[in-house]
Structure 1
Amino acid sequence: MATKRKTVVLLVRHGFTPTTGRVLPGRAPGLHLSDQGRTQSEGLVERLAGVRPDALYTSPLERTRETAAPLAAASGLVATVEDGLVECDFGEWTGRELAELARLKSWRTVQQAPSTFRFPGGESFVELQARMVGTLDRLRSAHPGGTVVCFSHADPIKVALAHALGTPLDLFQRIAVDPASVSVLAHEPGRPPTVRTVNATGPLSWTS
């Protein structure tokens, strides 16, 4: 009887933008990679040289599509836009300065009890996690035994990792996901996912 191979999902956060660490850009259009971010995206080709992807998927936002572009060109694959990988809908908080938001009383809830929070006019963290986990399940099921690279955003990747780790959603803020970082999930039929790598920002030691 043939052994069923692992299905591997690589989660890549987009590279630096001009507002990284200062603004909550959310889904607002028109935010592109900075020079540093473009350098990071080009560096992903070398960092992932040991990986042979079967498919590339990207959030529809410009910064993720630009991060995926060099790997798509190098691999000869098309980076398919997948709406389920998009950034959290921050609603009325979209575009606001992080320093300003940090002074709000509700910011403490975002950090300490995110499972109870919904962004005003936007998405809840519970909805974000359900969307992201469902999207990744669907994409990996489409490529059994293959390797799938997904380009997304910090919070969607963090809540997906928390789910894979069995970590309560209220603790997901303890997971670091830096710009252009790579995290790796391995799935075997009938078993929970294995988290192979989290927040790798240098060469990947994982190759299988």
Structure 2
Amino acid sequence: MVAGCIWEYKTPQPPQNSGAEATFFWKSDSSLDTPDLQPFQIEVPYTTEVTGKKFDVPPGAWTIAPGLVRPVSTGQVRRTGASPADTALIDSGFLKEQADIDALSRCVELCREIGNSDAMAEFVKREVMPGPMTGKDIANFARDGAISYFHESCTCKMGTDDMSVVDGSLAVHGIEGLMIADASVMPRVTTGNTMAPTVIIGERAADILIR
């Protein structure tokens, strides 16, 4: 999930290339085995329906989006009926766990530190949001600003426990002839965008099928 810290340009600039090509990985806690944060610099203002109303966001603005890529919180995907045409009921479970609120709040602090640094001064007329905050105020901003990172995964995880859906050959447990080959089979969300590992999963499925 991702939120947005926004600054107004001194001199408005149009987006270039993809508009979001600068990123980095960091740890919210140095004891973690891998980074759990991936902020993006986005060349346009990035808000939610909540933060967009709470803050006066000018069009000539840019964002550093605090991103949490190793959330502890989990959601659910449930069937609404027996027909294949019945829609799925999706609960993303954003920020259910306090650990995720703490990590995203730390990422907001980190992004504010970067955006307000001397190195970025030539691009900053003023900080638009969130501004100076501490404690519960940062946590509330993180909740208001949280939005999907658009890389959902792990709903049909690979493994052997009771919650696993596919085995090591991508075959669905208990259903002959059915395979799943997408990001849903990841037993743990990868750090960073899921496209590359999903391509590898697809290539592995192709290798299995052509044997």
TM norm structure 1: 0.30
**Higher relative helix content:** 1
Larger Rg: 2
Relative contact order (alpha carbons < 8 A, sep ≥ 6): 1 or 2 greater?
1
